[in-house]
Amino acid sequence: MLPVFYDRAQITDWLGAHTVAKAQRYRHAVSQVAWADNTLSGKVQGTQRQPYRVHAHFEQDDDDLLIEGECSCPVGIDCKHVAALLIAGLELIQQPPSGVRSQVVEWLESFQARHSAAPRRILLFSEFTGMPSLIALALDKAGIRYLTLTGETSDRVTPIQCLQRGETPVFLISLKAGGVGVNLTAADTVIHYDPWWNPAVENQATDRAHRLAGC
């Protein structure tokens, strides 16, 4: 069963910004996420010993995608646990089966061509930890040079120095790895591949390209 495609804005429209904000603390407490028919299901560990059973049922009404959330918590419907499940479900549908969106690679190729006389240095952030490796595969195929920095990168100094010296046009970086304690002032273009819920975290990561001194 292919998942129903939705985005972050729709989650906010369905459940409200306040509920979505409360769901952030449960983003990493979601497990066993799966699709069956038009229902996204999973478990969310709350304050009780047993995780809550959560379901999000989707229904298409003309041009509108509607949702009905169920949860075994006391609230029962359209709660923060439903929001957390929907946020976790985004990772399942973030990419089509073929991998990274082709528009991203096409844009990078076009961007490089337009600035061939004065090459640009691009920071490409992703919130999902596995996304930089998928983007890297697409860049390899397109012949675009890049460096990568994630939470698993043991030597952070070398790739950062290479970027600062202008040795590569694209720097793939996970949002959490690049948000704190990293200065990437040589970059002149910042892309958030999958914008996160907390603008402050995105802004902190973007500021890595503007800082003049270490944290």
Residue 156 predicted with pLDDT over 50: yes
- Among left, alpha and beta (phi > 0; psi -120 to 50; other), residue 159 is alpha
Domain residue ranges of the chain, discontinuous segments joined by +: 8-93, 102-209
Helix (H, G, I), strand (E, B) or coil at 25: helix
In this prediction, residue 81 carries a pLDDT of 96
Task: Give pLDDT tens digits for 200-215.
Answer: 766 776 776 654 333 3
Q: Residue 215: which residues within 8 A CB-CB, separation 6 or more?
A: 180, 181, 183
User: Alpha helices, DSSP H only, in 7-145?
Assistant: 8-15, 17-23, 80-93, 102-114, 131-142
Q: Which of 194, 193, 192 is nearest to 203 (CA)?
A: 192
Q: What is the pTM of this model?
A: 0.50
CATH architecture of 102-209: 3-Layer(aba) Sandwich (3.40)
In this prediction, residue 162 carries a pLDDT of 85
Strands 39-44 and 64-71: unpaired
